[in-house]
Structure 1
Amino acid sequence: MLEAEQVAQAYAGWIAHGEPGFQAMMRDDLHDHVSGRRGPGTWDVVWGWIESSFEERRAELHGWGRLDDGRIAVWVTLHGRHVHSGMPWLGDRPPSGALIAWKQLHVFATDGEYLTDHWAVRDDLKVIEAVDAANG
């Protein structure tokens, strides 16, 4: 059975360094409710955006746990330096060198052995504001 801390640690490793253990926890038909897509391959696209957008990445885990309905919640902040606008919501902003703190809450449903569904709430606006402020 997947444990909340196990998922949180794997997610932190993935978002900061692209570690593959997180995607190995997913069912082949995992439903990402953020993008509407299915499967672990969705995360390859997102990792490409993260890797190209931010350097000096590190994940700060704030907490994790199992919700009353059995889903797993992971609260994390990705810290890094903005070097490119690969994330679609960054638009065509030039590299700013801004230090970012991208706060996120992720919720995962499981079938016990694998992650089956994903939802997220992220503070994308805070990252945009930091990039815009650094660019003047």
Structure 2
Amino acid sequence: MQQNKTVVRRWMDAGNDREFGRFDELFTADTVDHVSGNTGIAWWKEVFGWIGASFPDWQWTGSVMIAEDDLVMVKADLTGSHQGSRLPFLSGIEPTGIPIVWRHFHLFRLENELIAEHWASRDDLGVLRQLGAR
């Protein structure tokens, strides 16, 4: 279980370091993102590119991580300043420069110490409120 937590920490670190090529070492080739319904590592690289285009100074912090069997749950906050709106839920919102805290819960299922499946609950509405959207 500790090894699986280490994999999820490495996922967060790869994002913080903007080294999305490291995802090739962290995910199964056919990894499934149940949030979007997409599969594959290229999807993860695309999403993290959207995050970077929207919040170029973003950083993950994980405050709680729990592992059991092949599952890892992490409560994570993403902080950053709104400099673009590449993320779909930000579509049409002009960059504000406002710093945000974007709260997430992620659940990962791992196979052989690789991320095979992902589910998440994100506070997108909270980000929109922080940006002054109505």
Report the TM range for the smaller structure's normalisation: 0.7 to 0.9
Letter aligned with residue 62 of structure 1: S
Runs of 4+ displaced beyond 6 Å: none
**RMSD value, Cα:** 2.0
- Separation in 2, partners of 1:98, 1:121: 23
- Measure how far apart 1:3 and its partner are: 2.0
What is the count of residue pairs matched by the alignment?
133
TM-score by length of structure 1 reads 0.87
Percent of residue pairs identical = 32
Q: Does the aligned pair in 1 maintain the 2:11–2:26 contact within 8 Å?
A: no
Tell me if structure 1 keeps the 8 A contact 2:5–2:72: no
Could you tell me which residue of structure 2 aligns to residue 110 of structure 1? 110
8 Å CA contact 1:8, 1:61 repeated in 2: no
Larger mean Cα displacement after TM superposition, 57-66 or 71-80: 57-66
Contact 2:5 2:67 in 1 (8 A): no
**Runs of 5+ in structure 1 lacking a partner?**
none
Listed as ranges, the gaps of 5+ residues in structure 2 are: none
Does the Cα contact within 8 Å between 1:16 and 1:78 map onto a contact in 2?
no
Residue 83 in structure 1 maps to residue 89 in structure 2: no
SS at match of 1:18: coil
Task: Report the secondary structure of 2:13's partner residue.
Answer: helix
Counterpart contact for 1:110–1:117, Cα < 8 Å: yes
Q: How far apart are residue 112 of structure 1 and its match?
A: 2.6
